[in-house]
Amino acid sequence: MTGDVLTVDDVGKAYYAFDSELQRFARWLGVPVAPTSERWALRHVGLRLHAGEAVGIVGQNGAGKSTLLKLITGTAHPNEGTINVSGRVSALLELGLGFNPELTGRENVRHVGTLMGLSGADVARLLPEIEAFAEVGRYFDEPVRTYSSGMQMRVAFSVATAVRPDVLIVDEALAVGDAYFIHKSYQRIREFRDAGTALLIVSHDPVAIQSLCDRAILLENGRVMMEGLPSEVLDFYNARIAEKENATVRSERREGHTVTESGTGEASFTAIELLDETGLSVEHVVVGQFVSLRARVRIRAAIPRLVFGYMLRDRLGQPIYGTNTDYTGHVITGLISGDDVVFEAAFEANLGPGSYSVSVALSSTETHLVNNYEWKDLALVFTVANPARPVFVGCAYIPAQISVSRVSGASSTQPHGLSQQDDAG
């Protein structure tokens, strides 16, 4: 399948309050009864989703995320706009939605399978695979009311993904699973996507959004606040959370990236550099090279306590390493307007080849959610190359000491081969 599998055009959803249930019922019958109040959960929302594309939806509680998914799946209807879906849709929304707690897992699979449009023969054919994927053992034939939330998620996910859909919708349900099954579930989701399934994912987990999605949409107060690359949308979203008044959040395009900054300005960065061993500014480093991150800060008002923090991120915006001077015990106090402070963090760039960015923050505590003086995403970008070390994959350089021994029959020989660290140079 090619082209759009989901289109949401100028959609709005309102909830009305009436003086009595009789008035509400009359409204349902088409009688023109004016409500006492109305609340728009969504307004003027648009979205297009292509086959094989993944879009993440982020936003604070009450932003309208779940309402949008309910409209797409047809469990609620919009007051304005249109929604068109092509092909089979599978949705994993509220945990255990459609499950009867008195029925066993097996019986619920049969029940939910028919609600999904599967025939009895299809469900019977798929049952062994669903049971095997869920891995709940004997509990598959026990009442669902005896399940933990994680076991419910296992069975719900297994039946929802028993047949590859054209559109798969997931709303936070995987958050209650154990680490093993979450990895297993995301592997299936990636396989579906590679086969052409379109994904729509709501999650508060930035790693899930960044690793799975091509685009992200930020909903705020029922409207689309921002749409773009996941890393850029999440940076802006985090800044909105940090600045409760939303008065100092700034977002602009620089060299092809959307850079987000925020802060009240009592302290601000005047220069941020990555330096080599000789003190020269660099943008390209090699694996294992010793470098220093230097940040110069100007103080513009009295600050009793100042904390500097930084975060290294990969090209998808996922955190690689971060710390701050509160954690390390290097807090500076008693600053006054006009002071200048230099923070320097020296480290070996034990990173895999690729592009990395640095986010920096100034605050009064270990979190920028309190007294956020300044926060900069994409404060600088640098690349890492591997011209001399043994070839490896991944984002971390962790050289190992490797030994190889041959075991012949019941007896073992002395170590056969090398025993050395995989380090060149």
State the CB neighbour count (10 A cutoff) for residue 377.
26
Question: Which pLDDT value is given to residue 88?
Answer: 86
> Which of 6-19 are b and which e, b meaning 16 or more Cβ less than 10 Å from the residue's Cβ?
bbbeebbbeeeebe
**Rg value, the chain, Cα:** 27
Question: Which pLDDT value is given to residue 175?
Answer: 66
* Domains of the chain and any CATH numbers: 4-236 (3.40.50.300), 252-385 (2.70.50.60)
* CA torsion, ordered 78, 80, 84, 89, to nearest 10 deg: -10
Measured between its terminal Cα atoms, the distance across the chain in Å is 52
CB 307 within 8 A of CB 365: yes
* CA torsion, ordered 21, 27, 31, 36, to nearest 10 deg: 70
Beta bridge partners of 382: 356
Question: Which pLDDT value is given to residue 246?
Answer: 42
CB 371 within 8 A of CB 365: yes
Give which of 305, 425, 287, 318 is closest to 365, Cα–Cα: 305
Judged by DSSP in three states, 387 sits in: coil
Per-residue confidence of the chain (425 residues) as pLDDT tens digits?
457 899 999 999 988 887 777 877 777 777 787 788 788 999 999 999 999 999 999 988 888 898 998 899 888 899 899 999 988 888 887 666 678 899 999 999 999 888 888 888 999 999 999 999 999 999 999 999 999 888 988 998 899 899 999 999 988 766 666 778 887 888 888 899 999 999 999 887 777 788 788 999 999 999 999 999 888 888 888 777 766 544 456 655 555 556 677 888 899 999 999 999 999 999 999 999 999 999 999 999 999 999 999 999 888 778 899 999 999 999 999 999 999 999 999 999 999 998 898 999 999 988 766 788 998 888 888 999 998 899 999 899 999 899 999 888 655 445 544 444 454 44
Give which of 394, 396, 414, 395 is closest to 404, Cα–Cα: 414
